[in-house]
């Protein structure tokens, strides 16, 4: 990552943001500076600014972060969204079946694609007019399944209120280590994501309450793995992953939690677990004030379905 800090002087006073950046970073063209701003790599006085024409004033501080890969042909990730990934498109609501490896929202590395620009591109290719796409909630980068996007701010507020009131019901399926024989629930306090490790911790105080109910769908005693249904009551970061790890049944393929609780599996199963096998299987919500609740289900990705096929055959 390239990082630059610019203090706006008399010389830069009143310039467009992209012009001030290109003037201050040797070898960076105005066109590239605008691309960096458009993709969220510029901060004025610590606030992200995506408007290249914004004028800057003396004393402003501009921080710029960008990945050189942005300007290398063919170097962007090959992830994409396809028309069949759209599961629901009504009442100013879009639900997609998010693939593994795709971040829900922008990271600080603009060379890494995320949901909104890919969905915007897909909708344009499908002939839809430009929309003010708003991410309603998040899934971890390697979690697959149903993800909700609003097409305007009013619908975003309407759906966010349902999340806040816990009236939206989400169901996840997870393939986990160990044989689970009966339903169970995990309730605990969770920390925020730790900046030095990227992990969430179970804490006794100072965290936020969390609760998830788990039910066994199918156990595979010969493989010592289980398929479980996960119903989160709260919606904390990494909640299901941490709760399953806390219960001694971390998710297969999760590279962050449960390192000491894994055992040997046939090679073909390990190859299918190229990412954490956690899938947002369904979501139930009210699309408008006067409409009945709607439930949308997301088919398993091939990685998840392939693991189950192999497990059933062994």
Where in the sequence is the domain holding 9, given as residue range(s)? 2-71
179 lies in the same domain as 36: no
Q: What is the pLDDT of residue 109?
A: 54
CA distance 207 to 210: 9
| DSSP letter, residue 104 | S
Q: pTM to 2 decimals?
A: 0.77
156 lies in the same domain as 296: yes
Euclidean distance between the first and final Cα of the chain, in Å?
Answer: 46
Q: What is the pLDDT of residue 272?
A: 74
Give a yes or no: residue 78 inside a domain. Answer: no
306 lies in the same domain as 180: yes
Helix 17-24 and helix 30-38, axial crossing angle in degrees, nearest 10: 120
Which CATH number is 59's domain given? 3.10.290.10
120 lies in the same domain as 232: yes
Q: What is the pLDDT of residue 108?
A: 61
307 lies in the same domain as 168: yes
For residue 140, indicate whether it is catalytic: yes
Active-site residue, from 18, 140, 245, 254: 140
Other C-beta atoms closer than 10 Å to the C-beta of 268 total 12
63 lies in the same domain as 147: no
Q: What is the pLDDT of residue 44?
A: 95
58 lies in the same domain as 94: no
100 lies in the same domain as 48: no
CA distance 188 to 179: 23
58 lies in the same domain as 158: no
The domain boundary residue, chosen from 33, 50, 71: 71
Kindly tell me the sign of the dihedral angle through the C-alpha atoms of 296, 301, 306, 311: negative
57 lies in the same domain as 128: no
| Residue numbers in the chain where pLDDT is lower than 70 | 69-78, 106-112, 260
Give a yes or no: residue 161 inside a domain. Answer: yes
Our count of domains for the chain comes to 2
Other C-beta atoms closer than 10 Å to the C-beta of 273 total 19
Q: What is the pLDDT of residue 75?
A: 46
252 lies in the same domain as 141: yes
Give a yes or no: residue 76 inside a domain. Answer: no
169 lies in the same domain as 239: yes
């Amino acid at each position: 990552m390239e990082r630059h800090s610019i203090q706006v002087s008399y010389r830069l006073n009143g310039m467009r943001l992209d012009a001030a950046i290109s003037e201050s970073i040797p070898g960076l063209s105005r066109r590239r500076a605008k691309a960096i701003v458009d993709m969220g790599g510029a901060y004025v006085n610590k606030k992200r600014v995506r408007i290249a024409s914004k004028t800057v004033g003396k004393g402003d501080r501009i921080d710029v972060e960008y990945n050189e890969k942005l300007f290398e042909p063919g170097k962007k990730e090959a992830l994409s969204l396809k028309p069949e990934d759209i599961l629901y498109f009504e009442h100013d609501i879009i639900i997609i079946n998010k693939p593994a490896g795709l971040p829900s929202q922008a990271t600080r590395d603009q060379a890494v694609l995320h949901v909104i620009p890919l969905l915007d591109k897909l909708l344009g290719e499908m002939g839809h007019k430009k929309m003010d796409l708003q991410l309603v909630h998040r899934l971890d980068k390697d979690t697959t399944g149903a993800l909700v996007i609003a097409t305007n701010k009013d619908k975003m507020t309407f759906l966010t209120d349902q999340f806040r009131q816990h009236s939206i019901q989400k169901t996840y399926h997870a393939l986990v280590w160990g044989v689970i024989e009966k339903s169970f629930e995990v309730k605990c306090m969770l920390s925020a994501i730790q900046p030095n490790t990227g992990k969430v911790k179970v804490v006794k105080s100072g965290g936020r309450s969390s609760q998830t109910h788990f039910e066994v769908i199918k156990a595979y005693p010969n493989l010592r793995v289980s398929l479980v249904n996960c119903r989160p009551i709260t919606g904390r970061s990494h909640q299901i992953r941490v709760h399953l790890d806390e219960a001694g049944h971390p998710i297969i393929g999760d590279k962050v939690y449960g390192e000491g609780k894994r055992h040997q599996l046939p090679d073909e199963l390990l190859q299918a677990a190229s990412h954490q096998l956690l899938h947002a299987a369904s979501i139930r919500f009210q699309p408008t004030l006067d409409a009945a609740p709607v439930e949308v289900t997301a088919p398993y990705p091939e990685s998840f379905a392939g693991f189950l096929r192999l497990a059933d055959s062994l």
